[in-house]
Amino acid sequence: MSIFDSLSAHAVVPVIALDDPAAALPLADALIEGGLPVAEITFRTPAARATIEAIAKARPEMLIGAGTVLSEAQVDEALDAGARFALSPGLDREVLAHAAARGLPFAPGIMTPTDLQAALRADCRMVKFFPAMPAGGPSMLKNIAAPYLHTGIRFNPTGGVTLDNLAEWLALKEVAAVGGTWIATRADIAAGNFARIAENARAAVARVAAVRGKS
């Protein structure tokens, strides 16, 4: 199973900006407890590399990735820290080429058909549709993706995705998994509300099961 197949199996990827690496393991444990052992740790804070490294070493059962990867240097940081996949809000051909050369599965951000064709040219198998709700929501993605479904490209909508609209996104066969910031918010992590994070993860897992018809 490829990394992107594994993300699709989870269907929801918590998108996390973490300020203190000391919270890395309590965060990972909360997600594991909630049945969602996957996370995208964004390079929006200086703690990203240390967080990825701590989780990758101490919680190998977690599928840990890097988000907001904007440069070749961050590709190297993410991979060396133990990230198993990476994503970006936009598409940079040089970054994509570097990730491919280093063997890091990478999903660039797209918002238009032109972006999508550039991603296909770079042999991407999954792309981040970002910002998902401001860009037009599920209806927009369905229409953008329609001419490209035969290519097998899959999507990771992120930006405004919530528990309330999760079912609409997962109803689209082209959606592999959504990215969600609601599961582990910056405020909850800072406040040590790990029980709430575990409950948010459980609720997301239950919603995915209901949408996919699993018991």
CB atoms within 10 A of CB 143: 11
| Cα 38 to Cα 59: distance, rounded to the nearest angstrom | 11
Q: Please report, for the chain, the start and end positions of each structural domain, with discontinuous segments joined by +.
A: 3-212
Question: What does the pLDDT look like over 133-144, one tens digit per residue?
Answer: 999 999 999 999
Please write the tens of the pLDDT for every residue from 164-197: 999 999 999 999 999 999 999 999 999 999 999 9
Amino acid in the structure at residue 26: P
The beta strands (E) that lie in 32-170 are given as: 38-42, 63-67, 86-87, 106-107, 109-110, 126-129, 154-157
Cα 85 to the chain's mean position, in Å?
9
pLDDT tier, 214 (very low <50, low <70, confident <90, very high otherwise): low
CA distance 98 to 181: 27
- In this structure, which amino acid lies at residue 197? I
Instruction: Report, as residue numbers or ranges, the catalytic residues.
Output: 40, 128
Q: Which of 95, 51, 53 is nearest to 73 (CA)?
A: 95
* Architecture of domain 3-212 in this structure: Alpha-Beta Barrel (3.20)
Q: How confident is the model at residue 215 (pLDDT cuts 50, 70, 90)?
A: very low
Instruction: Characterize 2-14 residue by residue with b for buried, 16 or more Cβ atoms within 10 angstroms of its Cβ, and e for exposed.
Output: ebbebbbebbbbb
Contact 83, 38 (CB under 8 A): no
Name the residue among 85, 81, 95 with its Cα closest to residue 6. 85
> pLDDT tens digit string along 60-114?
999 999 999 999 999 999 999 999 999 999 999 999 999 999 999 999 999 999 9
Q: Please say if the pLDDT value at position 13 is more than 90.
A: yes
pLDDT, mean of residues 154-162: 98
